[in-house]
Amino acid sequence: MSRTRLSIGMLIAAIGAFVLFFPVLAELLTDWWWYREVGFDVVFRRQLAIRFLLFVLGGGVAAATIWANLRVGRRGRVPGPLIVPFGESTARIELPAGLPRLARILPIVVGVLAGLIASTSWAIVLQLWYGTPFGVADPVFSRDVGYYVFTLPAATALLGFLSGLVTISLLLTVPLYVFRGRIAVLPRELRIDRTAGLHVASLLAIAFVLTAMRLWAVDLPNLLYSTTGPLVGASYTDLHATRPAIHLSAVLALAAAAVVFMGGIRNSLPRYAMAALVGYFGMAFVARGLLPPLVQKFVVTPTELTREMPYLRHHIAATRKAWAIDSVETRELTGEATLTLADLKANSATIENVRLWDRDPLLQTFGQLQEIRTYYDFVSVDDDRYMIDGTYRQVLLSPRELNPASLPTRTFINEHLTFTHGMGLTLGPVNQVTAEGLPVLFVKDLPPTSSVSLTVTRPQIYFGELSNEWVIVGTKQREFDHPSGDDNVYEAYAGTAGVPIAGLWRRALFASRFGATNILFSQDLTSQSRVLFYRNIRGRAEKALPMLRFDRDPFLVIAADGKLVWMLDGYTTTRRYPYAQRMDDGTNYMRNSVKVVVDAYDGSIKAYVSAPTDPLIRTWARAFPGIFVALDQMPADLRAHLRYPDDLYRTQAALYTTYHMDAPEDFYHREDQWQIPVTEKADGSVPFMRHLVMRLPDEKAAEFIYMVPFTPRGKDNLAAWMVARNDGAAYGKLLVYSLPRQSLVFGPKQIANRINQNTEISRQVSLWDQRGSTVLRGDLLVIPIEESLLYVQPLYLQAEGGRIPELKRVVVAYQNQVVMEQTLEGALASLFGASATTRTPESAIATDTTGSAGRGSVAVDAELQAMLDEARRHYQNAVEAQREGDWARYGAEIKALGQVLDRIGAGSARSAR
């Protein structure tokens, strides 16, 4: 009977273990297959090997330590009743019979938990082993920064682990001795057996020694991250009060260890231990708790700038170095230049790429006009630039992704076998508008068609920003490709992505991983079926490259062969750069070290090193050989679409508002601190940052830049503007154009106020509002031209209950002048007297190659051009009045148009004579 019960118990235990560990095994094996499929198996293998090694070492050391301490504690007297003082007498408590068995289980439990905790430090171990010097020494201890980034975290983790083991050993050993009667708590006495006393004294002494080591090896270097003074880093108080106090505390900890151990040898542990503890903590409290605040208040604060001057200098230099703003190039502008028509024509590439479409209104328009079916979504709109028909153009594009949540019927077959991918994208210029106020589209519809030199040859999007559900390809079910009228087009997946799912064993593992029993029993799967998972672009990159942090905004690129690929910026970061200013999450060093390219069709991942001198990426490249390739191996057509990373630029710009002041006196007083203007959106304030195609002052050609203006803190006038360059050899360079402090150049908020106060603009906006339409104000654009600034703001009109914003007006501001016209060319003509571009006049509404009415421009005589612009304005005003039913205004505009046409005719006759 007993054998039968034992067999049943073992069977139940085996089933329980299988149920508990099978999901873990399923995730581990399916991940291994995925890493092999994408070619990053070295990441999986090395990470798993280090984790396993740390688990075995950490768990083994912890289990052995606890076992040895409990083994020593269990020797000798057999445990009897526990004697507990109760007033003037004592109480006897009988101990549980299972207590000895618990002592045998505890080392295993502690070992497993310690091993799991230790295994999380795999990155620390790899960085310690493969760490690369920074070539920069800290200003206090003269150690290479690599010590703080790679070695110090390992020392901290090791000492913390050992201190934790000693603490757990004490917490288990002392009660064990009490239970066994070798430590007796009597009413007026604490009686400790000599052997028990020596054991506990040894543990306490080791704890004090580890404390001394932590003080010396960890707390001293950590002074370089202190926030005691007006900076991040070791300040006057840290180096003249806290540092000597740490030295003293370390010596006291060693002395306390000796005193405690002596107490154990002399069988007087309570008295010696109390003296050591009181002496150490008392002196530490005075030296480290009281003295530094007193020094800060009475010595530093009265003459803070003088005392902190050298440390401010260290902090400024370290912050600028850590965040790569020490190489920002600065150029001075006079602030007195006057913009002329000749300047506009010389910068026609800038004018012709002014962005009249904002992302939010354009996303709404794409959603209404180009989603085609309810299960397609446009998730985001991205800026980019292409050579289109031989012209450098800035465009806005958005991929059309499949949203499984919007499928009319959500079943296993629909979600995972049939509707597997998105389809194509929508792309249009930033500045062209149809006669109806809608965006001109170069690439549109399903399947995607192009009216320009861009072509999309493989439009299917299996991997994207929205793609997060797993799908299975190569099944008996037909894959939906795209709608065609009332019919659907189906096409089987022909790519290489996916993990084979043939066989019952693999099916069972994937069914467990995804919680989908249909995988196990479906008759639609074949020996050729493959499962695609980790399809979200950012999640896929994070899984393949867990040592990196990734930008929030992947963007889609049309390659030269018409394939769609995603590009994503990867960062190496640390929180351990000495003296550097940190962000809210503690990061105080960041480099855009990797450009990740993910094919939207087959999911292939390529990681290109974009910062080869970064010690962190060099360290990871040594730790995981073969997964990173040099940037010059990226195809040229993709390199043409590199752009400065958004997250890094935002942080650098925010820091530069303060850290452009590299003189400690200026920095301390903040007398020239800047701020970044904000744009008010429906979901809150966002920094005023724009992508533009423009020709920078003193440069020869237009280029794609990322621009941010700066205003003085607490003021609205413009102080400077920064650009991140994106094209060619200039990629990655930061350039700041600063204005004289005595000049007054209107900033974005001041211009926005002037626009709001303009009577003509206010009247028109009020008129639209009264008729039930909603006026949407577009992003205010700052357009630098030579040494002057133009401000441009588009206005959109959205009908009541409608969801398609239409571009109705363009506001242009220059110096004290604000004008509003139906087109940018019209507004510029009102300000400067003639067209500033070299295209066909927008008054000539012609059908473009997309089938939409487009607007263009040609160089003509200035006087004739002005009359043509005037005619165009009257014509478009008449069309608008006709739509609104304002026939009186319609008649007046037609009459004015006739008069202008008469003048044009007279001028042509004179020219003919």
pLDDT digits (tens, 9 = 90+) for 673-731: 999 998 877 667 788 889 999 999 888 889 999 999 999 998 989 999 999 999 999 99
CA distance 843 to 825: 10
CA distance 807 to 797: 6
pTM score over 0.95: no
Q: SS in 3 state form for 857-907?
A: CCCCCHHHHHHHHHHHHHHHHHHHHHHHCCHHHHHHHHHHHHHHHHHHHHH
Mean pLDDT, the chain, rounded, equals 87
How sure is the predictor about 90, in pLDDT bands with cuts at 50, 70 and 90? low
How sure is the predictor about 155, in pLDDT bands with cuts at 50, 70 and 90? very high
Q: Which amino acid is at 364?
A: Q
Please name which of 342, 439, 364, 429 lies closest in space to residue 391, comparing C-alpha atoms: 429
Q: What is the pLDDT of residue 321?
A: 97
How sure is the predictor about 904, in pLDDT bands with cuts at 50, 70 and 90? confident
Q: What percent of the chain clears pLDDT 90, i.e. is strictly above it?
A: 61
Buried b / exposed e over 426-465, threshold 16 CB at 10 Å, is bbbbbbbbbeebbbbbbbbbbebebbbebebebbbbbbbb
Q: What is the pLDDT of residue 913?
A: 46
CA distance 134 to 155: 19
CA distance 399 to 408: 21
Average confidence (pLDDT) over 32-49? 95
Q: β-strands 674-675, 774-777: how paired? A: unpaired
Least confident window among 100-104, 385-389, 703-707, 777-781: 100-104
Q: β-strands 628-630, 605-609: how paired? A: parallel
Which of residues 769 and 91 earns the better pLDDT score? 769
Token pair, residue 18, equals: 């299988």
| pLDDT tens digit sequence for 521-573 | 999 999 999 999 999 999 999 999 999 999 999 999 999 999 999 999 999 99
CA distance 780 to 784: 13
Please give the DSSP secondary-structure letter assigned to residue 481: E
How sure is the predictor about 760, in pLDDT bands with cuts at 50, 70 and 90? confident
CA distance 464 to 565: 9
Q: What is the pLDDT of residue 81?
A: 55
Is the CB of residue 193 less than 8 Å from the CB of residue 178? Answer: no
| pLDDT tens digit sequence for 473-521 | 999 999 999 888 888 999 999 999 999 999 999 999 999 999 999 999 9
Is the CB of residue 468 less than 8 Å from the CB of residue 433? Answer: no
Please name which of 603, 567, 501 lies closest in space to residue 38, comparing C-alpha atoms: 603
Is the CB of residue 540 less than 8 Å from the CB of residue 534? Answer: yes
Q: What is the pLDDT of residue 853?
A: 37
Q: What is the pLDDT of residue 854?
A: 41
| pLDDT tens digit sequence for 608-665 | 999 999 999 999 999 999 999 999 999 999 999 999 999 999 999 999 999 999 999 9
Is the CB of residue 755 less than 8 Å from the CB of residue 778? Answer: no
| pLDDT tens digit sequence for 109-151 | 999 999 999 999 999 999 999 999 999 999 999 999 999 999 9
Phi first, then psi: give them for residue 405, nearest 5 degrees.
Answer: -65, -20
Is the CB of residue 871 less than 8 Å from the CB of residue 904? Answer: yes
Q: What is the pLDDT of residue 100?
A: 65
Task: Please tell me the number of Cα atoms within 13 Å of 310 on its side-chain side.
Answer: 8
Q: What is the pLDDT of residue 857?
A: 35
Residue 855 has pLDDT above 60, yes or no: no
798 beta partners: 774
| pLDDT tens digit sequence for 425-478 | 999 999 999 888 899 999 999 999 999 999 999 999 999 998 778 999 999 999
Strands (E), 744-865: 774-777, 781-785, 788-798, 806-814, 817-821, 846-847, 853-854
Average confidence (pLDDT) over 171-190? 78
Residue 382 has pLDDT above 90, yes or no: yes
CA distance 839 to 442: 18
The neighbour count for residue 689, using CB atoms within 10 Å, is 19
Q: What percent of the chain clears pLDDT 70, i.e. is strictly above it?
A: 89
Average confidence (pLDDT) over 324-340? 86
Q: What is the pLDDT of residue 625?
A: 95
Secondary structure tally for the chain: helices H, strands E: 28, 38
| pLDDT tens digit sequence for 2-20 | 566 656 666 676 676 667 7
Token pair, residue 126, equals: 């790899």
Q: Which amino acid is at 575?
A: R
